[in-house]
Amino acid sequence: MNLWDMNTIKGVLSRHGFHFSKSLGQNFLINPDVCPHMAAECRADGGGVLEIGPGLGILTVELAKRAAKVVTVELDKRLLPVLEETLAGFSNIKIILDDILKTDLKRLIETEFPGQEIAVCANLPYYITSPVIMRLLEERLPIHSITVMVQKEAAQRFCAQPGSRSCGAVSAAVRYFAEPEILFQVGRENFHPQPNVDSTVIRLNVLKEPPVHIDDEKDFFRVVKAAFGQRRKTILNSLSSGLAFQRETIALALERAGIAPNARAEQLTMEQLAALSNELSSENE
Ligand code: SAM
């Protein structure tokens, strides 16, 4: 079945009386080249893949051609009969009806892919991009890479280098867990219905060890959040209003970490953010 052909798509959807839900981010890909390209980039050949939001199954099919097993989690139960039709003929795909934000991912991976490190591949619903990506990274699951299509602007944030203008709290958080890469661009015309944003496919190559030494991870993420919380302020001012430390304590920690008090968070490297967080952690002891 040609799932990128508009007549086929319309036929399948009308047979099942399906109507798109904007609130679930249902913009389905209709370009035949995008999914094979994503499937090739997600490093799943012969292994296991977790997909999020299969929609009509256009990416699922490409993943199933390459991987040993694909588990795909879809929230919209109206898509189940559609997927049963479009994925018929593949014996290595399992569909799970659930909200990916509520799924017990550790258990799912242990049950479906015992003893394996898997790939994640998805054209993500954009309303949950950051929470999904941060969950996948923070829970330290047996995942080697996360290849996802996200809104173009979000891709720039996820992949920004600390120390560069576009760096934000999420860029630093992602770099703590993974090495991000921009893979390719996908314009809005490649979807039905057409969204009003363009997309980018990125891959997060999950690191075995963090790139910097952190004494206390909770402190590190608190510092990152406070530092980037008020981007136009100096680092001294944003940390003073965002953290429960005296201004003098923060000034001293900045000095010890070798950071000028009038620097902006976006100018700091991962090493400087780590040094600052470790200095502040030692104040808590
Ligand atoms: N993979 C398909 C494609 O590329 O054409 C569909 C992608 S569409 C952008 C996002 C999909 O995620 C939809 O099928 C939507 O129903 C599903 N979805 C939305 N929220 C979800 C959630 N919380 N958990 C799981 N799936 C979700």
Q: Which of 64, 113, 71, 54 is nearest to 90 (CA)?
A: 64
pLDDT band at 230 (very low <50, low <70, confident <90, very high): confident
- pLDDT, tens only, 139-171: 999 999 999 999 999 999 999 998 898 899 999
Q: Which amino acid is at 206?
A: V
Q: Give the chain's count of helices (H) and strands (E).
A: 12, 9
CB of 57 closer than 6 angstroms to any ligand 1 atom: no
Q: Which of 213, 283, 212 is nearest to 254 (CA)?
A: 283
- pLDDT, tens only, 167-188: 999 999 999 999 999 999 999 9
Q: Which of 257, 237, 258, 232 is nearest to 247 (CA)?
A: 237
Is residue 261 reached through a cis peptide bond, with omega within 30 degrees of 0 on the bond before it?
no
CB of 99 closer than 6 angstroms to any ligand 1 atom: yes
pLDDT band at 232 (very low <50, low <70, confident <90, very high): confident
CB of 96 closer than 6 angstroms to any ligand 1 atom: no
* Fold held by 217-283: Helicase, Ruva Protein; domain 3 (1.10.8)
Per DSSP, the residues of 118-158 read EEEEEE--GGGHHHHHHHHHHTT-SEEEEEEEEEHHHHHHH
Where, residue-wise, is CATH 1.10.8.100 in the chain?
217-283
| Structure confidence at residue 248 (pLDDT) | 96
| Structure confidence at residue 256 (pLDDT) | 96
Q: Are 126 and 197 in contact (CB under 8 A)?
A: yes
CATH class of 6-206: alpha beta
For residue 244, report the distance from its CA to the centre of ligand 1, in Å. Answer: 39
- pLDDT, tens only, 17-38: 999 999 999 999 999 999 999 9
Q: Which of 154, 276, 153, 284 is nearest to 226 (CA)?
A: 276
Please identify which residue in the block is written with the tokens 């189940």. Answer: 80
Instruction: Count other C-beta atoms under 10 Å from residue 91's C-beta.
Output: 8
Across the range 125-148, mean pLDDT stands at 97
For residue 4, report the distance from its CA to the centre of ligand 1, in Å. Answer: 16
Going by the annotation, the residues of the binding site are: 27, 29, 53, 74, 99, 123
pLDDT band at 1 (very low <50, low <70, confident <90, very high): confident
Where, residue-wise, is CATH 3.40.50.150 in the chain?
6-206
For residue 178, report the distance from its CA to the centre of ligand 1, in Å. Answer: 24
Reply yes or no on whether the pLDDT at 285 is more than 80.
no
CA dist list (Å): 222 to 140, 155, 216, 262: 19, 23, 10, 20
Q: What is the mean pLDDT of the chain?
A: 95
Reply yes or no on whether the pLDDT at 111 is more than 90.
yes
pLDDT band at 231 (very low <50, low <70, confident <90, very high): confident
pLDDT band at 3 (very low <50, low <70, confident <90, very high): confident
Reply yes or no on whether the pLDDT at 247 is more than 90.
yes
| Structure confidence at residue 4 (pLDDT) | 83
Reply yes or no on whether the pLDDT at 5 is more than 90.
no
For residue 106, report the distance from its CA to the centre of ligand 1, in Å. Answer: 20
Cα gap 133→248, rounded to integer Å: 36
Across the range 45-56, mean pLDDT stands at 97
Regarding pTM above 0.90, the answer is yes
Across the range 189-197, mean pLDDT stands at 94
Q: Are 125 and 191 in contact (CB under 8 A)?
A: no
Reply yes or no on whether the pLDDT at 2 is more than 90.
no
